[in-house]
Amino acid sequence: MTKNKEKNITLSLRPITNHKIRIVRIITQLVIFSLLNGLIFGLARVSLILPIEYPTGGPFSTVWSGFEALQYGLTIFTFPYLVIAIFGLFGAVAGKTTCGWACPMGLFQDLFSYIPIKKKKVSKPTEKSLRSFAVFIIIFALVFSLVIGISYNKNGSAAKDAYGIWGNIPYSVLDPVATIFATLFYYLKWGIQAETLGAEMGDWKFWFIARILFLAIILILITLYPRAYCRWFCPTGYILGFFNNFSLFGLKINKNRCPTGCNKCEKACPVQVPILDYDKNITHPNCTNCGECIDACPEGALKIGFRF
């Protein structure tokens, strides 16, 4: 059998969804982004917590961000049963799929990845080291929230107020996602006025500059390294990435359909998952199940679905 015939047979076995996943994903991201900003369309805020990176205090936000709810729960010294349940359910069922298909910050990073600049890659050890930023953010936010919560429990809300801008959701003071989707909007709406807004926010000048600086670093990184925030900084992404090891939904590779190992899937992957290192299920903590590898694979060796 000639090589061409072999190729034709393999191609005929490819699923019909090939090369369409990106379009479906972008439409899904846009629809979910619209729903998350439902106040624009007259929707109401709902008591729903989602494991996504989107500021709860955003001007049109309809839901709670999971990590923000976790911090807020600790600052009022309550055990965050609901947040843990939401992370557990989403994580065990879908792994990091919400990062790739629903997260507004993910959509924002995807848009930045279309800027025509040559994308850079990092080595595996560097990738692993850089992920420790997310661990640092998680530990900082949760420990600080717990300290505030203990003060609140002992001395009431006055003790919590003493923490000023850090009092409710500590990480939101520096969070670049909050800066993009909430802070910048409010600053543009109200202006930078020391007498009004500044007085409410305490050391607003310092923290304004600090968060703009952090945002600028993130913007440069996500332009050069696709989904850099997801990979190295995002606390929600890090928590969900842990569940990728055993999540019900995820990517599967059929090595029988991958005789050449052309590596196109790894080149297409925006988060540098070493796909060909896996034998069956792709369980890398960076994988957002975005499906770029499925679109790129000429042999139809990759599939997304349930893998129990």
Is 281 among the residues that bind another protein (CB under 8 A)?
yes
User: Closest distance between another protein and the C-beta of residue 30, in Å?
Assistant: 29
Residue 281 has φ and ψ, to the nearest 5°, of: -95, 135
Which region, judged by CB under 8 A, interacts with another protein, from 23-31, 77-85, 167-175, 231-239? Answer: 77-85
Q: 3-state DSSP helix/strand/coil percent for the chain, to nearest 5?
A: 60, 5, 35
Could you tell me the end-to-end alpha-carbon distance of the chain, in angstroms, rounded to an integer?
Answer: 36
Other CB atoms within 10 Å distance of the CB of residue 155:
11
Label residue 147 left, alpha or beta by phi (over 0 means left) and psi (-120 to 50 means alpha): alpha
Which region, judged by CB under 8 A, interacts with another protein, from 85-93, 123-131, 183-191, 271-279? Answer: 85-93
Q: Which is nearer to another protein, 221 or 282 (CB)?
A: 282
Binding residue for another protein, selected from 8, 153, 245, 263, defined by CB under 8 A: 245
Is 46 among the residues that bind another protein (CB under 8 A)?
no
Binding residue for another protein, selected from 243, 269, 292, 299, defined by CB under 8 A: 243
Q: Which is nearer to another protein, 86 or 215 (CB)?
A: 86
The C-alpha atoms of residue 159 and residue 2 are separated, in whole angstroms, by: 77
How many residues bind to another protein according to rule CB under 8 A? 19
Residues 289-308 that bind another protein (CB under 8 A): 307-308
Q: In terms of DSSP bridges, do strands 64-65 and 249-253 run parallel, antiparallel, or are they unpaired?
A: unpaired
Q: How far is CA 290 from CA 14, 97, 143, in A?
A: 18, 7, 32
Binding residue for another protein, selected from 246, 266, 268, 303, defined by CB under 8 A: 246
The C-alpha atoms of residue 106 and residue 100 are separated, in whole angstroms, by: 6
3-state secondary structure of 71: helix
Q: Which is nearer to another protein, 86 or 258 (CB)?
A: 86
Q: By the 8 A CB rule, do 278 and 123 touch?
A: no
Binding residue for another protein, selected from 35, 46, 89, 111, defined by CB under 8 A: 89
Q: Which is nearer to another protein, 37 or 145 (CB)?
A: 145
Q: Which is nearer to another protein, 24 or 89 (CB)?
A: 89
Q: Which is nearer to another protein, 90 or 166 (CB)?
A: 90
Binding residue for another protein, selected from 82, 184, 212, 268, defined by CB under 8 A: 82
Residue 284 has φ and ψ, to the nearest 5°, of: -60, 140
Q: Which is nearer to another protein, 66 or 270 (CB)?
A: 66
Label residue 300 left, alpha or beta by phi (over 0 means left) and psi (-120 to 50 means alpha): left
Is 85 among the residues that bind another protein (CB under 8 A)?
yes
Mark 29-41 as b/e (b = at least 16 C-beta within 10 Å): beebbeebbbeee
Which region, judged by CB under 8 A, interacts with another protein, from 59-67, 81-89, 158-166, 185-193? Answer: 81-89
Contact set with another protein (CB under 8 A): 81-82, 84-89, 91-93, 243, 245-248, 281, 307-308
